Amino acid sequence: MQVRPINDQEFAQFQSMLVRVAGISLSPAKKTLVGGRLAKRLQHCQVATYGDYYALLASGRDTQEQQVALDLLTTNETYFFRESKHFDFLRERFLPERKPGAPLRVWSAACSSGEEAYSIAMLLADRLGENGWQVLASDISSRVLEKARGGHYFMERTDQIPPDYLSRFCLKGVGSQHGTLLVEPRLRARVDFRQINLNQNLPNVGEFDVIFLRNVMIYFSLDTKRHVVARLLATLKPGGYLIVGHSESLNGVADHLKPVAPSIYRKPLK
């Protein structure tokens, strides 16, 4: 079946859907990306236009297809130890200041395919051993969460992993798995992956000492940013840290937070 190129009206429908469901605002420059990511789904569903595919999603008759489309449109590229200064902050400032033996919880709140969450877990395992810490990792996409739970990655995505961590926490693929690595099972078991939509009321996830919310707010409107950050801050302990992407800012979003380093903010103690 020949799929017709996506037009402006059809793209606007998907823009509206993403804002409504996920709080994500797509610029007009993303029109080609949307068309490319969804083209095979039109063929799979045997519809010829993006308008027909949107109508299928909007009808609510196929919730599985709704999730597939959402997964395709919300997946972001990531890699291990991205924006390394954040991990330097944890290693050199945050962890040394903590009371020895105090339990620690960290949330990777838009974890994509899991590299960020496993980077956090490697650092905590290195500095704190096997006890006294937990990592929650969440994303809106069920597809990337499935990949994250598997912990299996191509080697070219692992260039930033410190050599010591690579040897201690990863298994190098051999034979048919050459060119890949597997995060070792004990570390994988320490990360709790859950599907959570940050644009909705949060489930009961407990409290956290550090929350990573990186490279996702660039897709949110100002109003959505404020609501998402407010939900997350309700789970952040007083004195805890919220870490956003280097290209992001909380100016006008949560001005009561104290900036302590570029893109790192602290919640007041009172």
The residues annotated as belonging to the active site are 37, 139
Which two structure tokens, joined as six digits, stand for 237? Answer: 């302990």
What is the DSSP pairing of strand 236-244 with strand 258-261? unpaired
CA 17 to CA 15: how far, in whole Å? 5
Q: Which residues pair with 213 in a beta bridge?
A: 244
Q: Looking at this protein, which amino acid is placed at residue 17?
A: M
Q: How many CB atoms lie within 10 A of CB 204?
A: 5
Three-state helix/strand/coil letters over 117-183: HHHHHHHHHHHHCCCCEEEEEEECCHHHHHHHHHCEEEHHHCCCCCHHHHHHHEEECCHHHCCEEEE
Question: Among all chains, which residue has been given the structure tokens 């010591």?
Answer: 164
Question: Among all chains, which residue has been given the structure tokens 């490319």?
Answer: 36
Q: Is 62 helix (H, G, I), strand (E, B) or coil?
A: coil
Q: How many CB atoms lie within 10 A of CB 149?
A: 14
**CB burial string 237-257: b at 16+ within 10 A, e below:** eeebbbbbbeebebeebbeeb
